[in-house]
Amino acid sequence: MGSITLKQVRKAFGDVEVIPGVDLEIREGEFVVFVGPSGCGKSTLLRLIAGLEDVTSGQIMIDGRDVTHAPPSQRKLAMVFQSYALYPHMSVRKNIAFPLKMAGMAADEQERRVKHAAGILNLTDYLDRRPGQLSGGQRQRVAIGRAIVREPSAFLFDEPLSNLDAALRVNMRVEISELHKKLATTMVYVTHDQVEAMTMADKIVVLRAGRVEQVGSPLELYRKPANRFVAGFIGSPN
Ligand code: ADP
Ligand code: MG
């Protein structure tokens, strides 16, 4: 579970072509990072995969199923937003359970899944608190918990650490990498931060103006950057 294939995926907003045509293969269980400068189309590409935007043309497959025109709810993906997307007036438990409640899941199954996610994320003792009573890192974990309870085929992260301070960002990188090891679920992670890409990814996709410049492991990109843009962006000596 969790393979994602893009075939000639194109996206235009009006006359502006933001993604001119992307082919991409994401394998089951991979940690894939989309990296590139601000405005290069990382979020748009992630939103196309999530079904939050409609492709202009092309095809998207998840687990071998054509989901090009399927709504987000039928894609079995969970998007992790920044921690400020939590509901301040709700307890941690209710924040995590929120998507399950919306889906009409039975209360005891909701509670089972919340407890399981809280255990994985070390939030068991914080379920009755409000987000305002948590640290920044704990809030980010609640946002991740809300994705875990949906038991998705893949997690999609859009710059989840960008509003955290530098020290916390380093901790959360490690935590998300550990989570990936524990769950062995596909993760697609968007960032403009080269260090995040190089330290977290199994596979890096370097984007520039909506085009894929190179796909490879951090080591491959570092050793054999396809061009100067990749070399400059990755910080390779070549
Ligand atoms: P990134 O996440 O890499 O910073 P985005 O995917 O957010 O880049 O944006 C890529 C380009 O698409 C930008 O030029 C942005 O202004 C444009 N764009 C994104 N969303 C919309 C939209 N809903 N309508 C029009 N233009 C958009
Ligand atoms: Mg973005």
162-192 confidence digits (pLDDT tens): 888 888 899 999 999 999 999 999 999 999 9
Which residues does 155 contact at the CB level (< 8 Å), separation at least 6?
A: 77, 78, 79, 80, 144, 147, 185, 186, 187, 188
**pLDDT at 42 > cutoff 60:** yes
For ligand 1, is residue 87 a contact (CB within 6 Å)? no
Q: Which atom of ligand 1 is nearest to the CA of 47?
A: 6
Q: Pick the ligand that lies closest to the CA of residue 162.
A: 2
What's the token pair of residue 118?
A: 């809280």
Q: Pick the ligand that lies closest to the CA of residue 39.
A: 1
**Sign of the C-alpha dihedral computed for residues 43, 48, 52 and 57 taken in this order:** positive
For ligand 1, is residue 39 a contact (CB within 6 Å)? yes
Q: DSSP state, 56?
A: S
Complex prediction ipTM: 0.98
Which of these ranges, 73-82, 105-114, 123-132, 141-150, has the smallest mean pLDDT?
A: 73-82
CA of 159 to the centre of ligand 2 (A): 7
CA of 209 to the centre of ligand 1 (A): 10
Model pTM above 0.90? yes
> pLDDT category, 238, cuts 50, 70, 90?
low
Task: Tell the burial category of 147 from Cβ atoms under 10 Å away from its Cβ (0-12, 13-18, 19+).
Answer: buried
For ligand 1, is residue 198 a contact (CB within 6 Å)? no
